[in-house]
A and B are shown apart, each in its own frame.
Chain A
Amino acid sequence: MAGKTIVITSGKGGVGKTTSSANIGTALAMQGNKVCLIDADIGLRNLDVVMGLENRIVYDIVDVVENNCRLEQAMIRDKRYDGLYLLPAAQTRDKTSVTPFQMKELVDELKEEMDYVVVDSPAGIEQGFKNAIAGADRAIIVTTPEISAVRDADRIIGLLEAEGLRDPEVIINRIRADMVERGDMMGIDDMIEILAIDLIGIVPEDEGIVVSTNKGEPIALNDKAKAGQAYRNIARRIMGEDLPMMPLEKDNFITRFKKLVGLS
């Protein structure tokens, strides 16, 4: 079996790479895939806490690369899905502890066993980013409707193309329909026109993300959350399904009332 490696990247920090990685990985596993998430943010690891697996870490990615343990020993099995694993980053080391060559070898080995290897890239364009994209077959860029995030996404598209990773796709995260409607936030069309790449998903701003991160339970597991639905749809599109984009829903009086009485 030869799986695919997908890198989740953005350039700018704080746009939702780790949340997106956790949710895409979880949603792919929910579809019955064998998935390994890799936290490539050495020194600032967080995918473990977002996944709620921080208490199970014994070994990490640097231990694997330095042969302190076997790859399988460092892979943490998810508590909810059998086919879902996490390879955590090292917390007390830095980005130079792994080389792009070692990273490629690692993901190539994992691909033998997995349907998908999902790599959570650190922010920036330096070595951590170069490690994260080494060995990737496909890139997904996360951005938000802000000038700074879109500008960085554009820069990343150029860097990915220079590395031979063509046709990256974009997730537009944290969009607010009410702000787009009143002309105070760039809309999907504006951003796609500027970036000129394919859209793989739109994730609405959702308070539920904070709650799910608090608990260490990816929102993809919550079948009532809009953001959860968005990530489940992204997973299906990754698998090749041609799903239409969910229309953006305004958080108006009616939807707020429905939430209040528990209808949605």
Chain B
Amino acid sequence: MKSDDDKKSKSVAKERLQFVLVQDRVKLTPDEMDAMRDELIEVLSKYIDVDSQKIEMDVKREDDMTALVANFPLKGSK
């Protein structure tokens, strides 16, 4: 397995920053974020087969708004 030391510290910084900014921008604690994520999975799973390991959530600032952008990949899809 590749160790984390191989990763450039810049990439680590960027990932950590993006992670804290999601929480800062939606003004939720990490626990609340996790709870929201779990509830979303629960709701979506009633209708579709979500791959809960691959979910990505990000908060993006665009021209006129800040949006929560979430990706819920389907199980078995590539």
Which A residues contact B (CB, under 8 angstroms)?
Answer: 146-147, 150-151, 154-155, 157-158, 180, 182-187, 190, 194-197
Q: Which residues of A contact B20 (CB under 8 A)?
A: 147, 151
* A154 adjacent to B24 (CB under 8 Å): yes
Q: Given known contacts A190-B14, A196-B62, is B8 in contact with A184 (CB within 8 Å)? A: yes
* A147 adjacent to B11 (CB under 8 Å): no
Q: How far is the CA of A158 from the CA of B61 in the complex (A)?
A: 10
* B10 adjacent to A147 (CB under 8 Å): no
Q: How far is the CA of A191 from the CA of B8 in the complex (A)?
A: 16
Residue of B nearest to A158 (CB): B25
Q: Given known contacts A147-B16, A196-B62, is B10 in contact with A183 (CB within 8 Å)? A: yes
Q: How far is the CA of A182 from the CA of B8 in the complex (A)?
A: 8
Q: Given known contacts A194-B14, A196-B61, is B8 in contact with A183 (CB within 8 Å)? A: yes
* A184 adjacent to B21 (CB under 8 Å): no
Which B residues contact A (CB, under 8 angstroms)?
Answer: 8-11, 13-14, 16-18, 20-21, 24-25, 60-62, 66
Q: Which residues of B contact A158 (CB under 8 A)?
A: 25, 66
Q: Which residues of B contact A147 (CB under 8 A)?
A: 13, 16-17, 20
Residue from A180, A182, A190, A194 within 8 A of B21 (CB atoms): A194
Q: Which residues of B contact A154 (CB under 8 A)?
A: 21, 24-25
The 8 closest A-B pairs by CB, nearest first: A183-B8, A196-B61, A183-B10, A147-B17, A184-B9, A147-B13, A190-B14, A186-B10
Q: How far is the CA of A146 from the CA of B9 in the complex (A)?
A: 11
Q: Which residues of A contact B18 (CB under 8 A)?
A: 194
Q: Given known contacts A183-B8, A186-B13, A190-B10, is B61 in contact with A151 (CB within 8 Å)? A: no
25 contacts between A and B (CB under 8 A): A146-B13, A147-B13, A147-B16, A147-B17, A147-B20, A151-B17, A151-B21, A154-B21, A154-B24, A154-B25, A158-B25, A158-B66, A183-B9, A183-B11, A184-B8, A184-B10, A186-B13, A187-B10, A190-B10, A194-B18, A194-B21, A196-B60, A196-B61, A196-B62, A197-B61
**Distance (whole angstroms) from the CB of B21 to the closest CB of chain A:** 6
Residue of B nearest to A197 (CB): B61
Q: Which residues of B contact A184 (CB under 8 A)?
A: 8-10
**Distance (whole angstroms) from the CB of A170 to the closest CB of chain B:** 13
Q: How far is the CA of A186 from the CA of B21 in the complex (A)?
A: 16
Q: Which residues of B contact A155 (CB under 8 A)?
A: 24
Q: Which residues of A contact B13 (CB under 8 A)?
A: 146-147, 186
Q: Which residues of B contact A195 (CB under 8 A)?
A: 61
